[in-house]
Amino acid sequence: QQQVKQSPQSLIVQKGGISIINCAYENTAFDYFPWYQQFPGKGPALLIAIRPDVSEKKEGRFTISFNKSAKQFSLHIMDSQPGDSATYFCAAKTNTGTASKLTFGTGTRLQVTL
Amino acid sequence: NAGVMQNPRHLVRRRGQEARLRCSPMKGHSHVYWYRQLPEEGLKFMVYLQKENIIDESGMPKERFSAEFPKEGPSILRIQQVVRGDSAAYFCASSPPQGRGNSPLHFGNGTRLTVT
């Protein structure tokens, strides 16, 4: 099954709070898990990515937590700012030739309020 | 260092007309992917191309849709005899040759197709 399930669909967080977005996958052949950020009228931009051989990756205020046995991964945005308001997509990919396309979750619309 | 360039940004077509969407990948990138995004939905994979080759078209509708990435020039996504359900944002992404490991996909800003 080439499917990635993402939740919640939308999220409102106060400035300074922690935003948490969750994703689950089924295909155990996935070996690369990026998160993309999309602003209105723009294309998705790579935010941070992780491989399944590590359980956590942190870049600035953004952290991916990865649970291989549960086939779940999540994005944590610490100290959320109004400028973080955007739609976030998780994705997954295999690295096997013709199957190397990205499969996206359905997206989470994040709004950070003052 | 130009990113992925898509044109036009907005395209309006009447039902039954043809839509041609263009994508120039980033310099040095030889792999192109097309995705479709419906309002309030995620990105759905359509087709993956390398120069002069279609690698994976499992997400392309069987009829009216075609894609190419010629040796010279941009990749083209063509939609013939458009219908209202084709209205969506179409995104192109490119990556360098995959080689070892995973190369990130870089997306353009999309073409927003409206069928009236």
pLDDT, one tens digit per residue, over B50-73 is 988 999 999 999 999 999 999 999
Count Cβ atoms within 10 A of the Cβ of residue A77 and give its class: 0-12 exposed, 13-18 middle, 19 or more buried: buried
At residue B93, the pLDDT reads 95
Which residues of A lie closer than 8 Å to B, measured between beta carbons?
Answer: 6, 31-32, 34, 36, 41-46, 49, 51, 89, 93, 95, 97-107
pLDDT in tens, A30-49: 889 999 999 999 999 999 99
Cross-chain Cβ contact B109/A34 below 8 Å: no
Separation of alpha carbons A39 and B109, rounded Å:
10
Q: How confident is the model at residue B17 (pLDDT cuts 50, 70, 90)?
A: very high
Residue B22 has phi, psi (to 5 degrees) of -115, 145
Minimal Cβ distance to A98: which of B4, B33, B56: B56
> Which segments of A55-107 are extended strands (E)?
56-59, 62-67, 72-77, 86-93, 102-104
The Cα of A78 is separated from the nearest Cα of chain B by a number of Å equal to: 24
Nearest to B42 among A43, A99, A107 (CB): A107
Write the DSSP symbol of residue B82: -
Residue B78's DSSP bridge partners are B20, B66
- Is pLDDT of B1 > 80? no
Q: How confident is the model at residue A101 (pLDDT cuts 50, 70, 90)?
A: confident
Confidence check: pLDDT of A13 > 80 = yes
At A29, the pLDDT band (50, 70, 90 cuts) reads: confident
Give dist(CA B75, CA B71) in Å, integer: 9
